[in-house]
Chain A
Amino acid sequence: MNPERYRKRVVFWKGDRMRFVGHLDLLRVLQRAMNRAGIELVFSNGFNPHPQMSFAKPLSLGQEGMREIMELELASPMTDQELIERINAVLPPGILLLDAADMPEGTKSAMSMVDLAEYEIHLPDLDIDYPEALKGFLSLPEIPIRKLAKFHGRKQEITVDIRPRIRELKALNANTFYLLAVSTGEENLKPDKMMQVFWNYIGHPEQTANEQIVRTGLYQCREDGTLADMMQLLEYQAE
């Protein structure tokens, strides 16, 4: 019989100054928080044992995440509430746990389940009719970006059309866009890269990176076409 495992899926907010803390640094911030909170994680086996902690999708530098997902394996059982409270009590400003749930044996990692990411893009106050500009942008048959990628075994610059990766893009109001973007392991749309093309397209390249990008959720597209977030997936799984 397998020994019992205590895996948790946790929803957290990362914003404020934490937006400038990269993925690997975030990992260490959280590991130290666990140490301070006295919460023991299970360590991986192998030459360089590391605590079992993983994230559904790294957030790009500068972006805020409203409902980010991480998964932990605890050394001993703990209620969701206790886990959240103990860690929140010791976290530095800019990060907060919001929700947690057990991951039953056999649950696939969120990393492998996410296929869509949802964003709000807040635009700077300029004399630009953003909704109108967006119409033109969306009518482009192709939106090519240049990126470094491994191609035929070596790193080189390639051109990728990101238009098919925009599942939905619309203006929520005069200064905000809504974006639903393909976000799987193989195909991933980076909203900051898309915005760079947008700024160039409307003739304002100097505004590049001047937008505020907020990731509002990570989803899986269900067979019936509805979106389920990572916590809902656990509920469906339980049913």
Chain B
Amino acid sequence: MRTVHVPDQILLSVDKPARYIGGELNAVRKNPDQVSVRVAFCFPDVYDVGMSHLGLQLLYGQFNSMPNVYCERVFAPWPDMEEKMRAHHIPLYTLETFSPVKDMDFLAITLQYEMSFTNILNVLDLSGIPIYAKDRTDDDPLVIAGGPTASNPEVLAPFIDFFYIGEGEVSYEELFNRYEAHKKAGGHRRDFLTKILDLGPIYVPAFYDVEYEEEPAPGAEYTPRIRSIRPNRPDAPATIRKDIVDDLEHSYYPTKPIVSYLQAVHDRAVVEIFRGCIHGCRFCQAGQVYKPVRYRSKEKVMQLCDEILQNTGYDEISFTSLSTDDYPWLEELMTEFREKYPHVGVSLPSLRVDAFSLSLMEKLAEGKKSGLTFASEAGTQRLRDVINKGLTEEDVLGGCRLAFSGGWDRVKLYFMLGLPTETEQDIYGIAHMGYQILDAWYQTPQEKRSRDVSITVSTSFFVPKSFSPFQWAPQATPEMYAEKQAYLNGQIRNRKIRYNCHDSFLSTLEGVMARGDRRVSRLLYTAWQKGCRFDSWSDHFRADLWKESLEECGIELAYYNYRERQADEIFPWDMIDYGVSKQWLRHEYERALAGKPTPNCKERCSGCGMMKLAHTGLCFEERRVES
């Protein structure tokens, strides 16, 4: 076994050397010579971010629970470390055994956000693995990508050997076992790809041909639409169906997560209380790709808490899901947990604000009043109906009134700019909501309210995503974004209300990556070559290099971002099946434009198509009731 030596002198010359040493509590130690399958699991961002990610801990733990597999970790080195590694010819190595990534059988990369894509190319390069899949040989690991952003795999298609679509808990064991047999029989890497096609969730880009029309698309100057996406071998399936965990209750859960030495971004125990979301917010990709809704019982959640707290020593825990409020046993769980672990802090993301949650939040923070957060997303009820966001103005104002009379003094509001059908009035509505909240504070009797109040309004830009009903929608141009931002900024004129906003060009690029096709891969390659990495970190984002690359590669933003997609358009991701039908998504898009909300999954099934894949959870119960 080859190992990489990293001299102390180098570690001492970079920021946070603990990012590069491994050996943390609960990191798995195995003898690499005694396993048949070696996997490097890569989160393509800096260690402190990657280590906060539940998916990494889950697959790492699950892979290592297989006796014939050793899964190790790798992250994107921060630019200071990259510079040293390149200068001293140190290849990228795994944190567990300091083995070169190139010596692994698999490099499995998790895709969590588009703006990490340049880091992926950089990770390949630092590992000495050819960037393009077609250039790799039997000496290179097989490069896998998975995770929510694999829902449009096409921008990365030329760089990845195969994508795993859906929930990783399901098919990896079988995949690794087949690999073991294949390797023992002396098989070649490319042949292995043909042996896993029947598993279901496997997308091998090289096995599919994309053809384009002759004429430019309507609304575009020179870029034609996709004419067809077809498998080029008989054994490659026409559609790749995502894997779903049927029995979340008994599925693998990482109860011995690695505890980093460094303070990770989210440095606490994490228990996923349920998966999926009943709300169909029309901009939301996660809501669609994580369907169906499946719960963990309160008893199971408590059992996981016991094990994780014992195995880590954390004094804070986070109960995660896409929408905490919809967990059926939230109140009982909180009561029981508080009784058993009075000294363990609890964080509950995205909680609705009412009397129950306020008293809960105060208890959780041990008397301290943390801020209130509302993700209203849009400034008027009309636009909230368009995006199907159930939160009403009264929900927000009522919550604030209640909170203000309890002495709360900080409110954060999140909105999106550039949503479909947005008008100036909707943007004004954002500022208006800020003022109404301020008014609610003034209306609160002085003896009850806090001495001062701070209201923060944050906006991000709407970026249409694959598998959301808005996948047809046009994205605003950077100029439009800037105009909207300036208008809103002009409307917020009170020192108690603060306005935060994002960089608009970054959202433009995110849009190109989110809905791009194989033709966009060249942009990614070019930008990376010019030195782009860590694009989601504002101090490393190089807008100038990205603009040059767009120009050089002839990427037409009018085609990828600004035009409305046609109803019958073939999307680059159409060979992927997340269970939700394209027809239903289109129907939702049309309802959106007509300003019609759709009831959530608990109120009434809207027939999204998920039922055909679901064997448990809400969809299943629904089906049982119907039959």
- Residue positions of A touching B, CB distance < 8 A: 16-22, 24-25, 28-29, 31-36, 61-62, 90, 92-94, 208-210, 212
Contacts and interface: CB of A to CB of B under 8 A. Distances in A.
Given A25-B262, A62-B12, A36 B313 contact: yes
A41 to B, nearest CB: 11
Nearest to B19: A20
Interface in B1-54: 7-9, 11-13, 17-18, 21-25
A32 B312 contact: yes
Contacts of B21: 17, 20
Given A20-B17, A92-B25, A35 B315 contact: yes
Contacts of A33: 313
Contact of B313 (A20, A24, A25, A35): A35
A21 B263 CA distance: 10
Given A18-B261, A61-B17, 5 more contacts: A19-B8, A20-B17, A29-B261, A36-B312, A62-B8
B310 A20 contact: no
Interface in B221-275: 259, 261-263, 267
Interface string B258-301: 01011100010000000000000000000000000000000000
10 contacts: A17-B22, A20-B17, A20-B261, A22-B18, A25-B261, A28-B263, A31-B313, A34-B313, A61-B17, A210-B7
Contact of A209 (B12, B18, B24, B262): B12
Which A-B residue pairs are the 7 nearest by beta carbons? A32-B313, A35-B313, A36-B313, A20-B17, A92-B25, A17-B23, A21-B261
Interface string B430-451: 0000000000000000000000
A208 B9 CA distance: 8
A111 to B, nearest CB: 23
Interface residues of B, number: 25
A25 B7 CA distance: 22
A24 B267 CA distance: 14
Interface in B307-364: 309-315
A209 B8 contact: yes
A19 B313 CA distance: 21
A19 B24 CA distance: 13
Nearest to A90: B313
A217 B396 CA distance: 60
Nearest to A24: B263
A32 B314 contact: yes
A62 B22 CA distance: 15
Nearest to B20: A20
Contact of B310 (A24, A36, A93): A36
A26 B620 CA distance: 48
B8 A212 contact: yes
Nearest to B23: A17
Contact of B314 (A21, A22, A35, A210): A35
Contacts of B18: 20-22, 25
A32 B259 contact: yes
A31 B344 CA distance: 13
Interface of A is mostly: helix
Nearest to A210: B9
Contacts of A18: 261
A209 B261 CA distance: 22
Contacts of B13: 209
B358 to A, nearest CB: 21
Nearest to B7: A210
Nearest to A192: B12
Contacts of A212: 8
Contacts of A24: 263
A94 B314 CA distance: 20
A36 B262 contact: no
B8 A25 contact: no
A137 B489 CA distance: 62
A21 B260 CA distance: 10
A29 B26 CA distance: 13
Contacts of B12: 61-62, 209
A34 B312 CA distance: 10
B9 A36 contact: no
Nearest to A43: B343
Contacts of B25: 29, 32, 92
A140 to B, nearest CB: 25
Most chain A CB within a 10 A radius of its CB, from B11, B313, B315: B313
B310 A31 contact: no
Contact of A93 (B7, B23, B309, B312): B23
A94 B18 CA distance: 13
Nearest to B368: A47
Nearest to B314: A32
Contacts of B17: 20, 61-62
B309 to A, nearest CB: 8
Contacts of B312: 32, 36
B23 A36 contact: no
Nearest to B11: A20
Nearest to A91: B25
A22 B19 CA distance: 12
Nearest to A32: B313
B11 A62 contact: yes
Nearest to A28: B263
A150 B267 CA distance: 32
A229 B315 CA distance: 34
A209 B84 CA distance: 15
B87 to A, nearest CB: 13
Contacts of B314: 32, 35
A35 B343 CA distance: 11
A193 B458 CA distance: 45
Nearest to A16: B23
A50 B339 CA distance: 21
Contacts of A16: 23
Contacts of A21: 18, 261-262
A31 B315 CA distance: 9
Contacts of A32: 25, 259, 312-315
Contacts of B310: 36
A18 to B, nearest CB: 8
B576 to A, nearest CB: 41
Contacts of A35: 309, 313-315
A31 B267 CA distance: 13
Nearest to B21: A17
Nearest to B261: A21
A6 B192 CA distance: 63
Contact of B9 (A34, A61, A92, A209): A209
B5 to A, nearest CB: 14
A92 B315 contact: no
Given A17-B23, A20-B21, A92-B24, A36 B311 contact: yes
A48 B472 CA distance: 50
